[in-house]
Structure 1
Amino acid sequence: MSVWFDSRDVRYKDPFGAVSCGAEVHFTLGADEPLEACCLLVRQEFAGLEQEVPFSPSGDGWKGVLTAPVEPELIWYAFRVRRPDGSLLWLGRNGCGGEADRQRWQLTVYEPTHTPDWFGRGVTYQIFPDRFCRLAVPDGHGMVGQRLVHQRWDDTPQWQPDKAGEIRNNDYFGGSLLGIISKLDYLQSLSVSTLYLCPIFEADSNHRYNTADYRRIDPMLGTEEDFRQLCREAHRRGIRVLLDGVFNHTGSNSRYFNAEGFYPELGAAQSQDSLYFDWYSFHPWPTDYDAWWGVRTLPAVNEEAPTYRDFIVRSQDSVVRHWLRQGADGWRLDVADELPDDFIAEIRQAMESEKPDSFLLGEVWEDGSNKIAYSHRRRYLLGRETHGLMNYPFRTAALAWLRGGDASAFRRDMEEVRENYPPAAFHSGLNILGTHDTPRLLTMLGAARTPESKDDRAAYRLSPEELDMGLARLRLGALLLYSFPGSPTVFYGDEAGMQGFEDPLNRGTYPWGQEDSSLLAYFRQLGTLRKQRLSLQCGDIGYLYAVGGGLVLRRQSEDEVTVAAMNAGMQPLELSIPWAGALAKDALTGQHFFARNGMLRLTLPPVGGVLLV
């Protein structure tokens, strides 16, 4: 006997994927033999409820309707059928069998709230501010921390521990907000519509993820007026600005903790009478305290402390509101897994009150629809918290395919995300191939090996053969990135051919005047096409081919169709794809292809692709 169901086929489950609260979901179960009965087994995780939905026979199968709950929910479902002999059979994601070992399907039920569409439709550019552009060599004297300033812009970032065995991240190159302003025309030439800045607030490290003062721009970067000018000039060019909010922890050398006594007022490490004492958890004070992943220079804050929540979110001049008023258009939440759900929800509420079209992005490395963090199922995408997430699952699947994996695995993993995410959240992902937390894309795709020692990794540069392979794969990866739903995101310098292994080797300075001009022109071309074609910005996605190295995506918005046909394999790939017109053009090269009888014959070169319009 065979019973079948495909959660991603609307003939069996309609509508596709996640549904809004109160929506009706129509199910059909197929069977090749008569059944006595069939029902849908539903488990509501947050409400803690179980229910059975009886099905009725219809043709060769059984049909039933589930009405989604009126509150956001995560539903897990399976099927139970009864044979004519009275025996029972359960159907789950892993097939038919006994009840105990059936894996259930996921159904995400979300509240349909407003998601700004400007983010997912456009191109995002991520900048590590110290390393993008400097206009003058800065003087770090008098600033928080012991700052070492590189005189040469093309120096290698300091990666070796100091004499005490500590990696201080206290070497600076002097990139600034005014430097970024001077390059806004460059970003505009890449069709960038969102500028995502790594932290810009005062801190005693070059990465600034250890905030020292949330209300002050780091003086090496500039001033608050410089930030306002950056936002004004960016907006004039159609570019919005996204800030990095590090709200799970501060720096130990901060105005709030003040372990080194740099700031005049008492910090929590100095006195239990400090205004900030209840922001932190000591056991006992002052020598032992909660810290992010045990890193003592990153004392964790207690987000439940009323004074902290007032400071960050609730007050009329809270950190979240203040910087939106100065011109920011959204926030990215660092380590969102470490933040309570209600804290994230309050940030969203404050943002919508202050600037209704602002965007809230979360850093989550897995499927955010069903993430469990610290034994709690998270609710990032159910309508009241983040609008979108960093799409690390896309990066994982894309890199695997680019380096020899099967395209069917990419399709499987990405269709699971599309099925689990609310549509607006899926189209609002920050799609990435490289970030400040990962090795440089060109190095990842070109290096035939990873040297064992960090000394060797710091000195490593791709050989001519590795560089050729890395560039070919990078171009193909960029074509996939710009063709996929969500915001294609470029980590500064990837478009110029920057190399480097892990942090901080991936955080070198932008090579002004030494860019790979051909690669840069290619990214400009992709940006222009993304900006011109509505189907690439917000169209539906379908897979025309996903076998071995071959991957063909079809994007459609109303009558406009764009097809990205790609081959990551080492041999030419011949394939035929359906095409409605008589002629297709590769938008990248201008080459034309003739279709016959509704089919287009293509021969894709090794590690190459076309964008058909």
Structure 2
Amino acid sequence: MREPFVFDPRHPLCKTPFGAAVCGSQIALRCRPLAAEGFTHCALILQQEFSGLRQELKASFSGIEGDRACFALDFSAPAEPELVWYAFRLWRDDGSGCMLDKTGYRSDGGWDPWQLTVYQKSFSPTWFGQGITYQIFPDRFCRLEVPSPEGLVGERWVHQDWAEAPAWRPEADGEVRNRDFFGGSLQGIVSKLPYLKELGVTTLYLCPIFESASNHRYNTADYTRIDPMLGDEEDFKLLCREAGRLDMRVLLDGVFNHTGSQSRYFNADGFYSTLGAAQSTESPYYDWYSFHPWPEDYDAWWGIKTLPAVREEAESYLDYIIDGPDSVVRRWLRAGASGWRLDVADELPDWFIRKIRAAAEETKPDAVLLGEVWEDASNKIAYSKRRKYLLGDELHGVMNYPFRTALLAYLQGGDADGFREAMETLRENYPPAAFSSLMNFLGTHDTPRILTVLGADRIPESKEERAIYRLSPAQRQRGLELVRLAALVLFTFPGSPTVYYGDEIGLEGWEDPFNRGTYSWESGDRELLAYFQRLGALHRSCPPLREGSIQWLYTSGPLLIFARELEKSRLITVLNASDQERELPLSEPKVRNLLTGAVLSPEDGRLRLPPRTGLLLTEDCPG
């Protein structure tokens, strides 16, 4: 069969090795225009993002293959980490010709090049990417007793009823301060470790746990103290020890771009006895912040004055957070944490992230460092600057928002090939270790609940409507069917399947704070929970799901079929996201569905799949 493409960087006929390249490694390229087009010369145009170097390297004519004229070129990747943009120039003996880039042939002077990520190979821990992660919003997971808010920073109040809805209305001055607490605690999490073990969880990702004036705790008040409502440092150490006994690790949320205005460092309301930057220019924390002028105006995260932005380059701040022998990064790793997830990584300088990684690895060599990045992290531009997150000395991996975006688009009526294309773009652009260390998820504390998104037929216009919105029985049933499909992809795709607390029992809710309700320990969908537990058990027991390569077998319309392969073992994920029964393009004479244990034999050589149904197949069907 003739290959229709002139150049496809994902095809071994055109480029080897696949995807990103190690610094200094050799890369082979082949450009294959139709011979009838008469091109007799070809050159590779390279543009390096960070060094600014631009090159044009001539390719050699390697002969005619079928109807294709083949031009070949081997070149060395840069010795330092880079993003290399490249395209081809093709011309004939008479001088006529054109450019070839991602858009095809062009002669308009435009430039839409392919990307080659060149990275520095370094140690990357595998425990995170090969395991299952569970994200906990600590205030809402498990409460053992109703706490008192007296004497704590912020004017807090506590819900007496665990099942109440979170407060969402603005206060009298129009501000939303998130001052309502439910009282979930670290001891509560410890009590539920056996439950998490049943889900197959190996990493607990905790939203911030340090002392703060709000229930989300992203406005840190004291980096050195566990919020008293959650417990204390001994409770944290106990959690890490008990989790470790069950082969689980703890990942902390590091909020290092800003503090809270009610922190001991800024101290806008004078709660702390320490002299804060808002109180005096003589404060030891004054140079942490940018005032213009002091004290009324200062830089704040997205202009939110309760979140004053820090100056990462301030020497005393660097020493406090990273460099000092008892710095925040080092201290909590020594206390038992196994890594950090960096909040708003786009707001942190590359050099700052590099320093965090170096300090973390020096303290705990197999510590993992992840970042909150919502787009393709290999080529992200933040504040007009191209970022270097994944080039070898910064992040091990990132939160995979593109996975969620592409999967939802497919499940809500899109083409399965759109999901494949989005994921192959990441696989091509990311270093292999980074792709394997992605935090894949269906929802987080920053997104609406997955069941609500997939079950609802519209988004209510007003926040008041969204606050009381609940799916109808029919919507919930449809949503549950689609959530099962989404979870099947989540647990069988490369990277760490990450479950946002309560998604496994069908919690509903639109945006914050409706997506941050309490976990329903006395109710919830137990059938859905059993399904998640089954997926967790399969992920734990099937090496291909943790370490295997991915092959796309069929992606068209509502049908998504891919395989994970490791040595001689192969598992096949099959989804039919449509409302109609579909015939599957599979030729295996007999397969077993690992989700149910049933052996499937295609009738008349054909296997049919009911609407909104998924399978996890193995060809190992003895007897």
TM-score range, shorter chain: over 0.9
Q: Report SS of the residue matched to 1:416.
A: helix
2:107 aligns with 98
2:454 aligns with 445
Structure 1 CA distance, aligned partners of 2:24 and 2:487? 39
**Please, which of 22, 26, 30 is the counterpart of residue 20 of structure 1?**
22
Structure 1 CA distance, aligned partners of 2:56 and 2:547? 37
1:55 aligns with 59
- Amino acid paired to 1:51: Q
- 1:604 partnered with 2:606: no
Alignment of 1:560-571 (within 5 A): 560-571=569-580
- 1:224 partnered with 2:228: no
Alpha-carbon displacement from aligned partner over 1:312-369 (angstroms, at most 9, x marks no partner): 0001110000000000000000000000000000000001100000100000000000
Moved over 3 A (4+): none
Structure 2 CA distance, aligned partners of 1:57 and 1:207? 61
* Structure 2 residue runs without a partner (length 5+): 65-69, 619-623
Alpha-carbon displacement from aligned partner over 1:46-92 (angstroms, at most 9, x marks no partner): 11101112111112211001210111000000000111322121100
- 1:524 partnered with 2:533: yes
Taking structure 1 as the reference length, what is the TM-score of the superposition?
Answer: 0.98
Structure 2 CA distance, aligned partners of 1:559 and 1:583? 17
Structure 1 CA distance, aligned partners of 2:605 and 2:414? 25
- 1:358 partnered with 2:363: no
Alpha-carbon displacement from aligned partner over 1:201-247 (angstroms, at most 9, x marks no partner): 00000000000000000000000000000000000000010000000
Q: Deviation of residue 98 (structure 1)?
A: 1.5
1:589 aligns with 596
Q: Report SS of the residue matched to 1:31.
A: coil
1:38 aligns with 42
Alignment of 1:276-315 (within 5 A): 276-315=285-324
Q: Deviation of residue 595 (structure 1)?
A: 7.3
Question: Which segment is superposed worse, 193-202 or 97-106?
Answer: 97-106
Structure 2 CA distance, aligned partners of 1:304 and 1:238? 37
Is the 8 Å Cα contact of residues 134 and 179 (structure 1) preserved in structure 2? yes
1:399 aligns with 408
1:6 aligns with 8
Is the 8 Å Cα contact of residues 361 and 386 (structure 1) preserved in structure 2? yes
Is the 8 Å Cα contact of residues 213 and 254 (structure 1) preserved in structure 2? yes
Identity %: 59
Is the 8 Å Cα contact of residues 231 and 240 (structure 1) preserved in structure 2? yes
Structure 2 CA distance, aligned partners of 1:494 and 1:278? 43
Q: Deviation of residue 437 (structure 1)?
A: 0.2
- Amino acid paired to 1:589: T
Q: Deviation of residue 496 (structure 1)?
A: 0.7
Alpha-carbon displacement from aligned partner over 1:364-417 (angstroms, at most 9, x marks no partner): 000000000001100000000000000000000000111111111111111111
**Please, which of 156, 162, 180 is the counterpart of residue 153 of structure 1?**
162
- Amino acid paired to 1:577: L
Structure 1 CA distance, aligned partners of 2:72 and 2:283? 64
* Structure 1 residue runs without a partner (length 5+): none
Q: Report SS of the residue matched to 1:357.
A: coil
Q: Deviation of residue 4 (structure 1)?
A: 0.7
Structure 2 CA distance, aligned partners of 1:600 and 1:94? 40
Q: Deviation of residue 593 (structure 1)?
A: 2.6
2:500 aligns with 491
- Amino acid paired to 2:7: F
Alignment of 1:494-505 (within 5 A): 494-505=503-514
Q: Report SS of the residue matched to 2:399.
A: strand
1:417 aligns with 426
**Please, which of 42, 49, 72 is the counterpart of residue 81 of structure 2?**
72
Number of residue equivalences: 608
Q: Report SS of the residue matched to 1:577.
A: coil
Structure 2 CA distance, aligned partners of 1:92 and 1:501? 42
Q: Report SS of the residue matched to 1:523.
A: helix
**Please, which of 260, 284, 294 is the counterpart of residue 269 of structure 2?**
260
- Amino acid paired to 1:593: L
Compute the RMSD of aligned alpha carbons.
Answer: 1.2
